Structure 1
Amino acid sequence: MLSIFKRHLKRPALKIAVVWAPLPAFISAALFVSLLSGLVLETRAELIATDHFLGGIPGDPLLGEYDLTAFKNQLRRGNANGGGQDPTVAGFVDPWSGNVTSGSLGVAQWTAELDPLGSEFPYQLGGRTRFAGVDNLQRRVQRALSPYTASDTYYISLGAQVLTDELDLDGFVGIGFTNIGATVSETDANLISGNSLRGLLIGAAGDGVSGTDYVVRHVGSSGTVQNDILLDNIIQNIPETTSPYLRHTIVKLEFNDDPGNLNGNSKLTIWQDPTNVTTEAAASASVTPLVFRTFALDTNADLTHLTLTGIDYSKAASFDEPRLGTTWEDVVGGSADFDGDGDVDGADFLTWQRGFGATTGALRSEGDANSDGAIDQTDLNYWTSGYGSAAVVPVTMAVPEPASLVLLLFGVPALSRILRR
Structure 2
Amino acid sequence: MHLEANFDGLVGPSHNYAGLSLGNLASQHNASVASNPKAAAKQGLDKMLALTELGMVQGVLAPQSRPDLTTLRQLGFTGSDAKVLEQAHRQAPQLLSACYSASSMWSANAATVSPSADSLDNKVHFTPANLVNKLHRAIEHPQTSRTLAAVFNDPHYFVHHDALPSHDSLGDEGAANHTRLCSSYGEQGLQLFVYGKSAINNGQVAPQRYPARQTLEASQAVARLHQLNPRHTLFIQQNPEVIDQGVFHNDVIAVGNHNMLFCHQQAFLNQPQALNDIRRAFGDAELHILEVATAEVSIEQAVKSYLFNTQILTLPSGEMALIAPTECLEQPQVAAYLATLTDRQQPIKQVHYFDVKQSMQNGGGPACLRLRVTLSAAELAAVNPHCLIDRAQHQRLSAWVDKHYRDRISFDDLRDVALLNESQQALDELTQLLHLGSIYPFQR
The TM-score by the shorter chain falls in which range?
Answer: under 0.3
Q: Based on CA coordinates, which of the two structures has the bigger radius of gyration?
A: 1
TM-score by length of 1: 0.28
Q: Which has the higher strand share?
A: 1
